[in-house]
Structure 1
């Protein structure tokens, strides 16, 4: 079997490691930090994520930690008027074959890590600072700080928004700063008044801002995320923000939403970044996945979901390449064809998700004045069926997870 190096031990990196290892490949994971851990708070998982998690064998473990959401709710953040809601109970779950859930990021990350740790063909290395790669007909070599090198049959860059592998493969510079600042806090649910609790993801949309909240950690915590389109020009990651500062950013917030925002404490601040889609994130035996390949704004709640889809398809395609070259390690042509097929199949879908995430921020979450009034009128007129039709392509997808049909197979 082949030896594959995965650069980055986040959600995407561990997911692809698990998929490849269960196919019999030997996988080395290089994590820059000194421990395997996941930063952040709440994360939303649509049915397409659970289809991928089931394929990886950890769907049950994530479900055991998840909160299954009954409704996505959109409010006018200044008036408090409910604009629309999408039911996520029986009809939704029947339609897509899985629930919509929210978790703390660690409740997604730890099942992947715990599934990888005992596998004899997985090596998890911390303190591994990757600075680039090179390749030749004999293999792909990861270059690490301190003049260290590690050669394998393939290299997968899952090293996030500021990927060192991407810098070498695409060389498109720093991520694009969105100009949007997000403030995040997690509070105990016991502090939330009963009348303000709901088993929903609630979004309050205002002029150049929005506020989202939902339960996580089995309902024990409430995740708060408030975003301001403030024209920020410098990327910021997880910097502490004072409570008074956060409250001052959203003076127009309606009373019910204001009561929840005021409960927030220990706020942290990020400036959101993404990148425009690119046509090719594969170079020979080297490929990108997740945020290293197609980073997107949070507004479609699909970043982690798309990384999981990447992981499943990569494991499938490299497994097919292995079957084509049975009797020894993956031949270069097998790896390269598999990775090219991955790029061809994933690029249109992930590019659409990237653009949709940007447009949601512009057209739904942050419009001002007459544009906001048009949004309210248009969305309030939609039925549940029409709302489902809008997300069918995203929430209902399963074809990323299996090679089916002659047009999807690795080119001969």
Structure 2
């Protein structure tokens, strides 16, 4: 949008959820202004997995056409024992999956997804994008909302969607909670596939190698040109006193925790970049994230651990359902926000808890728990979708 329009809906944060929210709002023919803290738009990280509950929304928002040529469409999700090298279970992600859920399972680089969302926003006449906006206050004022940035810029509009991530400032309007450190850290990165091709499994699959207090995820991205790897483990060195330092979850501890894993896992971690580590956080669910004409979306509302690969998926679901409520209620932003959270809070609360539970399952440390898990996994077929239906099969967002 070239010219600033009076009284837009304001989205704070231009990550995956924020840009998707902007497109959903624009779908209702409402003007939307996206405020980004950074000096330029971008995304940090490596690969991302998107299940059908997310790709259905991307199809609706007109984004899938931009990522089809650069994403990878894996054939299977495979669970492997990180120590024995044994295949424990697999899930068919091909035509049967797509037919069942109406959209494909894709993996791609986070920057590629973000770029696609950004390009569609830039092409949309209802969307305005503004950088260098570190927001310090958000408040209802004079029948609308007022948002003030650290540089003195003031933005007024008809409502605010806070999509400023797990360390959200907008969330402070609703809760004084802080993120929970899981004591796990991740090392991740994508490397040219030619460098690892001879030392990994089937390039058409997503692999998850699991073991006590650790796992490794692998899959190709960017048309199969890069191979994304994520190594995750629980740190024995963690204490609350050193939480915000680099003294725990170190590269040396990574090697120690993965001692004894099978050859393919050892090969994989030898390629992992050790320059940066990502401590893994979530937050406890809250029972309200709407106040008048202000609401939350994505990680601002419901940050979750990554074990179900549902963080971005839930943000995209949020964007779709929020758009539906704005379609339904027109200019009554307050009612749209209330109905939006009435649907989304129970859904995301459940998935936040399920992500924690799944983490406990894959990282199990007891012989009994590992045996039970492995027996269950081995006795299901690759086209048994009962464990993912509740996540991937969400269909509350209307196709517009």
TM-score by length of 1: 0.89
After TM superposition, list the pairs within 5 Å mapping 1:9-408 onto structure 2. Answer: 9-136=14-141, 138-168=143-173, 170-194=174-198, 196-198=200-202, 199-230=204-235, 232=238, 233=240, 246-322=254-330, 330=331, 334-386=332-384, 388-401=385-398
**Residues of 2 paired with 1:221 and 1:207: CA distance?**
28
**Residues of 2 paired with 1:396 and 1:197: CA distance?**
29
Q: Deviations over 1:378-400 (max 9, x none)?
A: 211122343x0111111111213
Note closer, same or farther for the CA distance 1:14–1:152 as it changes in structure 2 (3 Å cut). same
**Residues of 1 paired with 2:13 and 2:398: CA distance?**
22
Structure 2: any 5+ residue segments left out of the alignment?
A: 1-5
**Residues of 2 paired with 1:204 and 1:237: CA distance?**
28
Contact 1:140 1:285 in 2 (8 A): yes
Contact 2:186 2:280 in 1 (8 A): yes
Partner SS, residue 390 of structure 1:
coil
Contact 2:134 2:150 in 1 (8 A): yes
Offset, 1:402: 5.5
**Residues of 2 paired with 1:346 and 1:237: CA distance?**
35
Note closer, same or farther for the CA distance 1:238–1:158 as it changes in structure 2 (3 Å cut). farther
Offset, 1:84: 0.8
Q: How much is the aligned-residue C-alpha RMSD, in angstroms?
A: 2.3
Contact 1:205 1:366 in 2 (8 A): no
Offset, 1:62: 1.8
Contact 1:318 1:338 in 2 (8 A): yes
**Residues of 1 paired with 2:313 and 2:129: CA distance?**
23
Partner SS, residue 389 of structure 1:
coil
Contact 2:134 2:149 in 1 (8 A): yes
Contact 1:160 1:292 in 2 (8 A): yes
Structure 1: any 5+ residue segments left out of the alignment?
A: 323-329, 404-412
Once the two structures are overlaid, the 10-residue window that deviates more, 262-271 or 30-39, is 262-271
Note closer, same or farther for the CA distance 1:121–1:193 as it changes in structure 2 (3 Å cut). closer
Contact 1:214 1:222 in 2 (8 A): yes
Offset, 1:236: 5.9
Contact 2:54 2:316 in 1 (8 A): yes
Contact 1:75 1:83 in 2 (8 A): yes
**Residues of 1 paired with 2:292 and 2:225: CA distance?**
47
**Residues of 1 paired with 2:190 and 2:132: CA distance?**
29
Note closer, same or farther for the CA distance 1:181–1:346 as it changes in structure 2 (3 Å cut). same
Aligned residue number for residue 9 of structure 2 = 4
Partner SS, residue 388 of structure 2:
helix
Partner SS, residue 192 of structure 1:
helix
**Residues of 1 paired with 2:34 and 2:348: CA distance?**
24
Aligned residue number for residue 3 of structure 2 = none
Offset, 1:243: 6.2
**Residues of 1 paired with 2:99 and 2:327: CA distance?**
31
Offset, 1:264: 2.4
**Residues of 2 paired with 1:268 and 1:224: CA distance?**
14
Partner SS, residue 116 of structure 1:
helix
Partner SS, residue 276 of structure 2:
strand
Note closer, same or farther for the CA distance 1:220–1:237 as it changes in structure 2 (3 Å cut). farther
